[in-house]
Chain A
C-alpha cells in the first residue's frame, strides 16, 4: 500500500551532536533507522498524551536491557517462580498416529499461571518497579494475560486493574475468578463486540487518563513502539530454549515450527531465534473461526489490509470505509482483528507463513492431543495442533516439527463441555 505514513527525520542526540551542541554548533538532524518499525509496519499511532510515557518506557527498557542486575533478577524469577526452562517433549503417540514428521511439543503450558504470558508479565513488572509506578492496568482476552498480570502484581505489590470484554468474561469465567482471587479488579467492557479489542480500547482510555501513575502492561506484540519489540524480547526465551533443546535431542534443527497467532506473542517468541535459520519453516496459525466471511473469523492474512489499530500499523480486518471489523473465534485469545507488526513484516518478506485453522479443527485437535498425549491444550494452542495434524502426515519421517503449546486448557473446560459431546 502506498499510503504508509513514515517519519523522514528523527533527531537523535548522538555523542557527536551533543558535543557539537556544547561547542555552540547547531545540532544536526541525523537520519536513523526508525525504532519500532518492522519493514513498513509498526510505529506509534497514539494520542499525544501517551507519547511521553512511551518514550519513558522505551528509555527505561533500553537501560534495563543492558543492566545485568535486571537481567539476573528476571532470569531468577523465570526459573524459580515461573518454572523455566519448560520441557521440549517428544509426542510419540501423536507422531505415530499422524504417521509423518517427528512431533515435539514446547510445553509453555507448564508454566506458572498456565501459559507463556508470564514471561512478559515478569519482565514488564520489573520495569514498573524501576519506573517507580504502583498501578498496573492490562487487557485480557482469554484471561491468560490477565491472570499472569494479576499474579505478578500480587508478587510485587502493585494495584492491578484488568479490562475484559463481557463476552470473554462469560466464556472464560474461571479466569475472571482467578484474577479476583489474586486481588485484581476485573472491569467488564460492554462496548463493541465485548472482546479483546474492546478491552484494549478501554485499557488505553484508562492509561491516557492515569498515565502519570500507571503502567499499561500490554500482553502481546501489539500496540505502539516499544511494545512489539519489548514483549517479543521477553518471550524470546521460548525459542532460545527450544533451539538448544532440539539440537540436543535430535542433533539438528527442525523442519518447521508451528504456533498460534492472536496478537502473536507466543509465536514471535518461539520463531525469533530461528529466523536466521533460513531452512526452518515458520508457520503461524490464525483463527479461521466458523467461515470465510468478514466477521466470522480472525484470520488477518485472509482478507485483512494494512491499517492502523490501537497504536500500530499492521494487517487489520476492516471494511471498505476503514472501520474495524468484528471477529469471531472459539478461542478468546485469537479473537482479534489485527496482528503484531513483526508478523506482517515476516509474512511480506516470505520468511513466515500464516494459515488458518477453524473452530471445529481446533476443537478436534484438543481432543486428539488429550487422548494421544494426555495434554489438554488451551483452545488457542489447539489451533497450532490442528495445523500439525494437517501437515505432519505430508512430511518425511526423518523431519522434525515443533509445536508451541502456549497454554493449557483448564480455562476452557466450560467451552469444551459446550462444544464437545463427551459422555
Chain B
C-alpha cells in the first residue's frame, strides 16, 4: 500500500511504541487514525536516542523498562494494519535494533506486517546501500531526513533515495516542542521543492494547532511527535481518548482534499 496523504496538509502522528504498554499503543494509534491521522510513525524505543529531546527520551525509557522490542513493534504494526487499511504505516527507528534483527529479515517481516515505509534516524544516505537494496526488494518506502544544514547537493541525494515523501526537519536540534518555528523550515521546503516532486512532510517542534496550520501552509504534511507523546504521558489511564481529542484539535484546520499522493 503506497503512502497517501489524503488531505492537505496531511497529519503524520508519531508514537513511541510500548509507552505505557503495547496494548495501549494499539488503542492510541487506532484512535489517532479515527481522529484523522493519515500516516502513523511507529517509534521503536532505543536505549540511546541521540536525536530525541527529553519527552521522547522519557517515553523510550518507560517502554524499554518492560522490554519493548523491534519484533514486538512489527507485530503491533500487523495488528494495526488489520484494522486500518488505508493509513500509511512507517517504522521509525534507530539503526542498531534493525542491524541486530538483520536488515533483510527486518524488511521482510515489515513488509509482511503491512508496513509501508521506514525511517532510520541515524542512517544518512551515504551509509544506506544495503538498506536501500533490502527496502527495494520488499517494496518498502525509505524515508530520509532532510535538514536545514543539508547543502543542495545532499538534498538531491536525499530526495533521490526517498520514496513516499521526504521528511524535512524544521530546525537544527532534537525532537520536542518549541515556542516558535524558525524560518528555517519554510526555506528548507522551498529548497526541497526545487529538487523533488515528492511530497514534503515537516516535523520537529510542532505542538499546537496554530503551528500545524502555519506549517501546513507550505508543507504537504505535518509530523506531530513529542506533543502526542507528552499527551500520552500526561493522561494516564485515558491515553487513547486524550490523543484523539488532541488530534481532532489539530486536524480541525485541514479539511481541503488534496490530489497529492506519494
Contacts and interface: CB of A to CB of B under 8 A. Distances in A.
B144 A48 contact: yes
Interface residues of B, number: 50
A205 B126 contact: no
Contacts of B169: 48-49
Contacts of A209: 172-174
A205 B53 contact: yes
Contacts of A7: 126-129
Interface stretch (A75-83, A116-124, A156-164, A306-314): A306-314
Contact of A307 (B52, B96, B145): B96
A2 B134 CA distance: 13
A316 B96 contact: yes
A5 B53 contact: no
A48 B174 contact: no
Interface string B71-109: 100000000000000000000001111111111100000
Given A307-B100, A309-B96, A322-B96, A45 B46 contact: no
Given A5-B128, A308-B122, A323-B97, A48 B50 contact: no
Contacts of A4: 130
Interface string A371-386: 0000000000000000
B64 interface: yes
Contact of A45 (B61, B101, B122): B122
Contacts of B100: 305, 307, 318, 320-322
Majority SS of interface residues in chain A? mixed
B146 interface: yes
B123 interface: yes
Contacts of A306: 99
Interface size class of A (residues with CB under 8 A): 35 or more
Interface string B146-186: 11111100100010000000000100111000000000000
Interface string B37-75: 000000000111111110001000100100101110000
Given A49-B169, A209-B173, A324 B48 contact: yes
22 contacts: A3-B104, A3-B130, A5-B128, A5-B130, A45-B122, A45-B124, A48-B144, A48-B145, A49-B147, A201-B48, A201-B49, A208-B50, A209-B172, A306-B99, A308-B96, A309-B48, A311-B122, A318-B100, A321-B100, A323-B64, A323-B96, A324-B47
Interface of A: 1-8, 10, 43-53, 191-192, 197, 201, 204-205, 208-212, 305-311, 316, 318, 320-324
